[in-house]
Amino acid sequence: MSSVRIGYGEDAHRLEAGRELWLGGLKVPDAPVGAVAHSDGDAVLHAVADALLSGLALGDIGQYFPDTDPAHAGLDSRVILRRCLELVQERGYLPQNVALVVTLDRPKLGPLRQQIAQSVAALLALDEGAVGVSFKTSEGLAPAHVQVRVTVLLAAHD
Ligand code: C5P
Ligand code: MG
Protein backbone atom coordinates (compact mmCIF):
# COMPACT_ATOMS: atom_id res chain seq x y z
CA MET A 1 0.00 0.00 0.00
CA SER A 2 1.23 3.51 -0.78
CA SER A 3 2.86 5.39 2.10
CA VAL A 4 0.60 8.38 1.38
CA ARG A 5 -3.15 8.22 0.87
CA ILE A 6 -5.77 10.87 0.16
CA GLY A 7 -9.10 10.81 1.99
CA TYR A 8 -12.26 12.70 1.08
CA GLY A 9 -15.42 13.16 3.14
CA GLU A 10 -18.68 15.07 2.97
CA ASP A 11 -21.59 15.71 5.28
CA ALA A 12 -24.74 17.79 5.19
CA HIS A 13 -27.46 18.60 7.68
CA ARG A 14 -30.77 20.35 7.44
CA LEU A 15 -31.01 23.50 9.55
CA GLU A 16 -33.91 24.62 11.71
CA ALA A 17 -34.55 27.43 14.17
CA GLY A 18 -34.20 26.55 17.84
CA ARG A 19 -31.37 24.04 17.39
CA GLU A 20 -27.68 24.23 18.27
CA LEU A 21 -25.13 24.64 15.50
CA TRP A 22 -21.90 22.73 16.14
CA LEU A 23 -19.03 23.00 13.66
CA GLY A 24 -15.60 21.50 14.20
CA GLY A 25 -16.22 20.82 17.89
CA LEU A 26 -17.35 24.42 18.52
CA LYS A 27 -20.86 25.61 19.31
CA VAL A 28 -21.48 28.58 17.02
CA PRO A 29 -22.65 31.42 19.29
CA ASP A 30 -26.04 33.00 18.61
CA ALA A 31 -26.67 30.89 15.48
CA PRO A 32 -30.21 31.61 14.17
CA VAL A 33 -30.52 27.98 13.05
CA GLY A 34 -28.93 24.67 13.98
CA ALA A 35 -28.59 21.16 12.66
CA VAL A 36 -31.38 18.60 12.68
CA ALA A 37 -29.49 15.43 13.56
CA HIS A 38 -29.44 12.22 15.57
CA SER A 39 -26.06 13.15 17.07
CA ASP A 40 -24.93 16.72 17.84
CA GLY A 41 -25.00 17.28 14.05
CA ASP A 42 -21.43 18.55 13.73
CA ALA A 43 -21.09 18.28 9.96
CA VAL A 44 -17.42 19.33 10.05
CA LEU A 45 -16.40 16.53 12.41
CA HIS A 46 -18.54 14.01 10.52
CA ALA A 47 -16.94 14.94 7.20
CA VAL A 48 -13.42 14.88 8.69
CA ALA A 49 -14.11 11.45 10.20
CA ASP A 50 -15.39 10.14 6.85
CA ALA A 51 -12.33 11.58 5.11
CA LEU A 52 -10.04 9.68 7.51
CA LEU A 53 -11.89 6.43 6.90
CA SER A 54 -12.07 6.86 3.14
CA GLY A 55 -8.32 7.39 2.85
CA LEU A 56 -7.78 3.80 3.96
CA ALA A 57 -10.96 2.40 2.40
CA LEU A 58 -12.45 1.75 5.84
CA GLY A 59 -16.03 2.62 4.90
CA ASP A 60 -17.92 5.48 6.54
CA ILE A 61 -19.01 6.57 9.99
CA GLY A 62 -22.51 5.16 9.58
CA GLN A 63 -21.02 1.67 9.73
CA TYR A 64 -19.35 2.37 13.07
CA PHE A 65 -21.99 4.68 14.57
CA PRO A 66 -25.37 3.77 12.99
CA ASP A 67 -27.91 6.57 13.39
CA THR A 68 -30.56 3.92 13.99
CA ASP A 69 -28.88 2.98 17.29
CA PRO A 70 -30.56 4.81 20.20
CA ALA A 71 -27.22 4.65 22.06
CA HIS A 72 -25.90 7.24 19.57
CA ALA A 73 -28.66 9.81 20.17
CA GLY A 74 -27.09 13.18 20.98
CA LEU A 75 -23.63 11.68 20.52
CA ASP A 76 -20.69 14.06 20.89
CA SER A 77 -19.10 13.97 17.43
CA ARG A 78 -15.64 14.27 18.98
CA VAL A 79 -16.12 10.66 20.09
CA ILE A 80 -16.75 9.67 16.45
CA LEU A 81 -13.67 11.52 15.23
CA ARG A 82 -11.40 10.09 17.94
CA ARG A 83 -12.50 6.54 17.06
CA CYS A 84 -11.86 7.12 13.35
CA LEU A 85 -8.41 8.53 14.13
CA GLU A 86 -7.67 5.41 16.18
CA LEU A 87 -8.72 3.19 13.26
CA VAL A 88 -6.28 5.05 11.00
CA GLN A 89 -3.47 4.92 13.58
CA GLU A 90 -4.00 1.20 14.17
CA ARG A 91 -3.26 0.68 10.46
CA GLY A 92 -0.02 2.64 10.71
CA TYR A 93 -1.13 6.00 9.28
CA LEU A 94 -1.40 9.55 10.63
CA PRO A 95 -3.14 12.59 9.12
CA GLN A 96 -0.74 15.23 7.78
CA ASN A 97 -3.06 18.05 6.77
CA VAL A 98 -6.73 18.73 6.31
CA ALA A 99 -8.56 21.07 3.92
CA LEU A 100 -12.20 21.72 4.74
CA VAL A 101 -14.92 23.82 3.10
CA VAL A 102 -18.15 24.75 4.90
CA THR A 103 -21.04 25.96 2.75
CA LEU A 104 -23.52 27.87 4.90
CA ASP A 105 -25.51 31.03 4.18
CA ARG A 106 -25.70 32.32 7.76
CA PRO A 107 -24.32 33.08 10.20
CA LYS A 108 -21.00 34.42 8.93
CA LEU A 109 -18.28 32.09 10.18
CA GLY A 110 -15.19 34.14 9.31
CA PRO A 111 -14.70 35.27 12.92
CA LEU A 112 -14.58 31.59 14.00
CA ARG A 113 -12.06 30.44 11.36
CA GLN A 114 -9.08 30.25 13.72
CA GLN A 115 -11.05 28.61 16.53
CA ILE A 116 -12.43 25.95 14.18
CA ALA A 117 -8.96 25.27 12.77
CA GLN A 118 -7.50 25.03 16.28
CA SER A 119 -10.27 22.74 17.46
CA VAL A 120 -10.01 20.32 14.51
CA ALA A 121 -6.20 20.40 14.72
CA ALA A 122 -6.27 19.56 18.44
CA LEU A 123 -8.59 16.61 17.85
CA LEU A 124 -6.20 15.24 15.20
CA ALA A 125 -2.97 16.10 17.12
CA LEU A 126 -1.95 18.45 14.28
CA ASP A 127 -0.61 22.00 14.27
CA GLU A 128 -3.23 24.67 13.59
CA GLY A 129 -1.44 25.46 10.32
CA ALA A 130 -2.22 21.95 9.07
CA VAL A 131 -5.97 22.64 8.97
CA GLY A 132 -7.22 24.91 6.18
CA VAL A 133 -10.73 26.24 6.72
CA SER A 134 -12.80 27.88 3.95
CA PHE A 135 -16.35 29.20 4.08
CA LYS A 136 -18.78 29.64 1.21
CA THR A 137 -22.37 30.74 0.99
CA SER A 138 -24.76 28.79 -1.22
CA GLU A 139 -25.78 32.17 -2.72
CA GLY A 140 -29.24 31.56 -1.31
CA LEU A 141 -29.69 28.25 -3.13
CA ALA A 142 -29.70 26.19 0.10
CA PRO A 143 -30.48 28.51 3.00
CA ALA A 144 -31.64 25.72 5.35
CA HIS A 145 -28.63 23.54 4.79
CA VAL A 146 -25.04 23.17 5.93
CA GLN A 147 -22.65 21.27 3.68
CA VAL A 148 -19.05 20.33 4.47
CA ARG A 149 -16.40 18.87 2.18
CA VAL A 150 -13.02 17.68 3.44
CA THR A 151 -9.80 16.29 2.05
CA VAL A 152 -7.10 14.79 4.25
CA LEU A 153 -3.62 13.52 3.48
CA LEU A 154 -2.59 10.40 5.40
CA ALA A 155 1.00 9.19 5.63
CA ALA A 156 2.45 5.96 7.00
CA HIS A 157 4.32 6.46 10.27
CA ASP A 158 7.22 4.43 11.68
O1 C5P B 1 -19.61 32.19 -0.82
P2 C5P B 1 -19.07 33.55 -0.98
O3 C5P B 1 -17.97 33.60 -2.01
O4 C5P B 1 -20.12 34.58 -1.22
O5 C5P B 1 -18.37 33.93 0.41
C6 C5P B 1 -17.82 35.23 0.56
C7 C5P B 1 -17.03 35.36 1.85
O8 C5P B 1 -17.87 35.16 2.96
C9 C5P B 1 -15.87 34.42 1.99
O10 C5P B 1 -14.72 35.20 2.34
C11 C5P B 1 -16.23 33.53 3.15
O12 C5P B 1 -15.12 33.24 3.98
C13 C5P B 1 -17.26 34.34 3.92
N14 C5P B 1 -18.27 33.49 4.54
C15 C5P B 1 -18.37 33.47 5.93
N16 C5P B 1 -19.33 32.73 6.53
C17 C5P B 1 -20.19 32.00 5.79
C18 C5P B 1 -20.10 32.00 4.39
C19 C5P B 1 -19.11 32.77 3.79
O20 C5P B 1 -17.60 34.13 6.63
N21 C5P B 1 -21.16 31.31 6.43
MG1 MG C 1 -23.63 14.49 10.06
Q: What average pLDDT does this structure show over 68-77?
A: 86
pTM: 0.96
Determine how many CB atoms are found less than 10 A away from the CB of residue 110: 9
Element (H, E) at 23: strand 22-23
Mean pLDDT of 4-12: 98
For residue 75, is pLDDT > 90? no
Q: Which residue puts its alpha carbon closest to atom 5 of ligand 1?
A: 136
118-134 pLDDT tens trace: 999 999 999 999 999 99
pLDDT at 97 > cutoff 80: yes
| Mutate-to-test residue for ligand 1 from 108, 114, 147, highest number of ligand atoms within 8 A of CB | 108
Q: What would the mean pLDDT of 97-122 be, rounded to a whole number?
A: 98
Q: How far apart are CA 68 and CA 66, in angstroms?
A: 5
